[in-house]
Amino acid sequence: MPMLANGVVAPPVPGQPPSGPSLLAFFKADCPACHLALRYLDNLARSIGSGDHVLAVSQNERASTEKLMRSLGADLPLRFDRDLTASAGFGLEAVPALFLLDQAGRVLASSQGFDKADLNRLGGKLAKLLEVPDPELARPGDGNPDFQPGCVSRHLEPESDTAAADIPDLYSRRAGRASRIDLPTEADAEEWCYESGYADPLPVVPPTVERVERMLAESGLSPDEVVAHVPPNFGAASVEKIAANAVMAGCRPEYMRVLVPAVRALCDERLDIHGVQGTTHFAAPLAIVNGPVRLELGFACGSNVFSNAARANSTIGRALQLILRNLGGAAPGRIDMSTMGNPGRFSFVIGENEEASPWGPLSEDFGIDAGRNAVTFFCAEPPRPVSEHKAREPRVLLRAICPVLANLWSYRVCKRSEAVVVIGPEHAATLGRGGFTKRDVVEFLFENTGVPVSEYDGDGGEGTHEAGFYDECVIRGVRCYRKFRRPESVRVMVAGGPAGKFSAVLGSWATGPRGSQMVSYQFA
Amino acid sequence: MSLTVVSPLDERPLPEGSAPPRLASVGGARIALLDISKGGGEVFLDRVDALLRERYGVSEVLRFRKPTFAKPAPEAVLTDIRKAQPQAVIEALAD
């Protein structure tokens, strides 16, 4: 039967009926979209205050439901649809499913799946009925996706006689404390860590209790607070686990102020580190640091910005990689099956040379005010070099960058890649003197990067089959296909040392909502 | 003196799973093929599709497709496969 239409009187739900208008939320314990919705609904219930006006209807038994609610820190009034008759009666196809009912139990509005717009709409209507302020539950850009499809309702699931696998605990906010392990007296601590699978192939600093405690003290956070769940295994990155990996990577305690928001950003669903961890491609997450923290913690932003110049870059980048490996499970040869790999899989962190830039910082492109600390992630190929030592005029200089951009991913593949162009300080000075704004640079690169149509001569190579979808243009009299989908596919920043007219181009992995999207997080 | 270290690893026990029993025969069975959207996947699966019917007497081959190889299969795709109730699913991984 179809889902209950508006105006229809809803069938009864087990337990005490609500007194007055109510929002019923059907869910099941192993549904990630339900976990997301329940957190917002818990906030809605709290903002409304007394009364059972927001009811969570579980399709599971009490024990697993209560365990889930504890892990979410949610305290919603619960009902149990044990035999799933109510789920069938409401005509659910998917959960979470929300039904706004009036006092007489008639359906006023409904929604299936996790959708911030629906949550706001239904939460707003309930607030209006109860004459309380609209709580504006779900804001865009709060770290959760705007939309996530739900899971099939349990009453439609085929029965199975095999035991279900454990439910991954994706949204818990607290983790158990990390184990303390006494090393054998005769053990060499560095060798022991290596043999215990703690490390990449380089030596690590043993994460002794004292060192980890110093990290924790500096963070000012509770050790069991979960910052993120690291894909693909979704191990909980508690502050304590982050600290242990940071010690091993050689971090100083004060680096925790960057590492904690960086781990959160790294696990943002938009970045899709899940896919990047398992790809055969070259991609690795590059972290770009902006703001005063660069100078306070000594991040390299100048000479050797991509290499081994500063402890902050090298050890924070290594800590992130160790976290991906130790908590996410992406060790080379197991989940990480990159064909060629990327030197950035040891460490891949740069600071923007804001002092040498004629423009605002990269983080400003993502809505963060200049002067604020921010970490931005881009899943990138290794840097490709650009040399242009003769150009004295912006257009001539930028022409040297266009062919490097044209080669991203594969020469004849268009409209797929994105790029970060790291402009060296000498090049930045040329562009600044020539009056080019960042927008001018991006538009010039977009307009002048293409692949000649003559290259598509029917040999069947990569990118040639999709040519019908490409956008044609003329670049210096030559018919071309535009390399990029839109100007915003190219991001521009400044980094590198004061001498040498070099820049660098970094290409992306799969892009857009079906791949990896750049994310930028502000921090204190 | 012995050192005490803090475990940096994910300490949850790995969930135990086991493969479902193998089909004794695919003759007369409904088999689902899941294309993960990698380039060339459909070429490979078209051939598997034909072989399953011609050589192994599969009664019906059902085709499903993930919207992107870059992310796990969305619940909607898994729901469609479950609803179709195939006896087995073959997933074409990578290119």
How confident is the model at residue A221, as a pLDDT?
A: 94
Residue B43 inside a domain? The answer is yes
Interface of A with B in 454-483 (CB under 8 A): 462
Residue B8 inside a domain? The answer is no
Report how far residue A204's alpha carbon sits from residue A427's, in angstroms, rounded to the nearest whole number.
38
How confident is the model at residue A227, as a pLDDT?
A: 95
Residue of A nearest to B70 (CA): A275
The boundaries of the domain holding residue B55 are 30-92
Residue B86 inside a domain? The answer is yes
Cβ of B68 within 8 Å of Cβ of A516? The answer is no
Report how far residue A259's alpha carbon sits from residue A262's, in angstroms, rounded to the nearest whole number.
5
The segment(s) of chain A belonging to CATH 3.40.30.10 are 22-156
Cβ of B4 within 8 Å of Cβ of A275? The answer is no
Q: What is the interface size between A and B, counted as CB pairs within 8 Å? A: 117
CA distance B70 to chain A (A): 5
Residue B48 inside a domain? The answer is yes
How confident is the model at residue A167, as a pLDDT?
A: 54
Q: Among candidates A103, A104, A86, which has minimal Cα distance to A95?
A: A86
Is any Cβ of chain A less than 8 angstroms from the Cβ of B19?
A: no
CA distance B55 to chain A (A): 30
**Would you state the structure tokens that stand for residue A212, as one six-digit string?**
């980890």
Q: What is the pLDDT along chain B (95 residues), one digit of tens a residue?
A: 679 999 999 998 776 677 778 889 999 999 999 999 887 888 889 999 999 999 999 999 999 999 998 888 888 999 999 999 999 999 876 66
A145 vs B contacts (CB less than 8 Å): none
Residue B85 inside a domain? The answer is yes
Residue B63 inside a domain? The answer is yes
Report how far residue A191's alpha carbon sits from residue A109's, in angstroms, rounded to the nearest whole number.
62
Three-state secondary-structure class, residue B41: helix
Residue B3 inside a domain? The answer is no
In one-letter notation, the amino acid at residue A16 is Q
The domain defined by A22-156 carries CATH number 3.30.200.20: no
Q: What is the pLDDT along chain A (524 residues), one digit of tens a residue?
A: 678 999 999 999 998 888 889 999 999 988 888 988 998 999 899 888 877 899 999 999 898 898 888 878 888 999 999 889 999 999 998 999 999 999 999 999 999 999 999 999 999 999 999 999 888 888 877 767 788 888 888 888 765 545 555 555 666 778 889 999 999 999 999 999 999 999 999 999 999 999 999 999 999 999 999 999 999 999 999 999 999 999 999 999 999 999 999 999 999 999 999 999 999 999 999 999 999 999 999 999 999 999 999 999 999 999 999 999 999 998 898 888 899 999 999 999 999 999 999 999 999 999 999 999 999 999 999 999 999 999 999 999 999 999 999 999 999 999 999 999 999 999 999 999 999 999 999 999 999 999 999 999 999 999 999 999 999 999 999 999 999 999 999 999 999 999 999 999 999 999 998 899 999 999 99
Mutation test of the interface with chain A: which of B1, B3, B6, choosing the one with the most A Cβ atoms within 10 A?
B6
Please give the DSSP secondary-structure letter assigned to residue A332: B
In one-letter notation, the amino acid at residue A193 is C
Cβ of A158 within 8 Å of Cβ of B82? The answer is yes
> How many Å is the maximal CA-CA distance in chain A?
80
Q: How many domains does chain B have?
A: 1
How confident is the model at residue B13, as a pLDDT?
A: 74
Three-state secondary-structure class, residue B36: coil
Report how far residue A423's alpha carbon sits from residue A497's, in angstroms, rounded to the nearest whole number.
10
Q: Which of B8, B75, B76 sits opposite A245 (nearest CB)?
A: B8
